Chains A and B, each alone.
Chain A
Amino acid sequence: AQKITQTQPGMFVQEKEAVTLDCTYDTSDPSYGLFWYKQPSSGEMIFLIYQGSYDQQNATEGRYSLNFQKARKSANLVISASQLGDSAMYFCAMRGNYNQGGKLIFGQGTELSVKP
Chain B
Amino acid sequence: GAVVSQHPSRVICKSGTSVKIECRSLDFQATTMFWYRQFPKQSLMLMATSNEGSKATYEQGVEKDKFLINHASLTLSTLTVTSAHPEDSSFYICSAGQRGSSRYGYTFGSGTRLTVV
Contact = CB atoms under 8 A, between A and B. Distances in A.
Contact of B99 (A44, A45, A50, A102): A102
Interface in A29-49: 33, 35, 42-45, 47
B105 interface: yes
A106 B42 CA distance: 10
A57 to B, nearest CB: 14
B interface, by DSSP: helix, strand, loop or mixed? Answer: strand
A103 interface: yes
Contacts of B104: 35, 47, 50
Interface string A41-78: 01111010010100000000000000000000000000
Nearest to B113: A43
B42 A105 contact: no
B74 to A, nearest CB: 16
A103 B108 contact: no
Nearest to B32: A102
B111 A101 contact: no
Interface string B89-107: 0010101010100011110
Interface in A58-116: 91, 95, 98, 101-109, 111
Contact of A52 (B43, B95, B97, B103): B103
Interface of B: 32, 34, 36, 38, 41-46, 49, 57, 91, 93, 95, 97, 99, 103-106, 108, 110-111, 113
Given A33-B103, A43-B110, A50-B103, 7 more contacts: A45-B111, A47-B104, A47-B106, A101-B49, A102-B32, A104-B95, A108-B42
26 contacts: A43-B38, A43-B91, A43-B93, A43-B110, A43-B111, A44-B111, A45-B44, A45-B93, A50-B103, A52-B103, A91-B44, A95-B106, A98-B99, A102-B32, A102-B99, A102-B105, A104-B46, A104-B95, A104-B106, A106-B43, A106-B44, A106-B45, A108-B43, A109-B41, A109-B42, A111-B41
Interface of A: 33, 35, 42-45, 47, 50, 52, 91, 95, 98, 101-109, 111
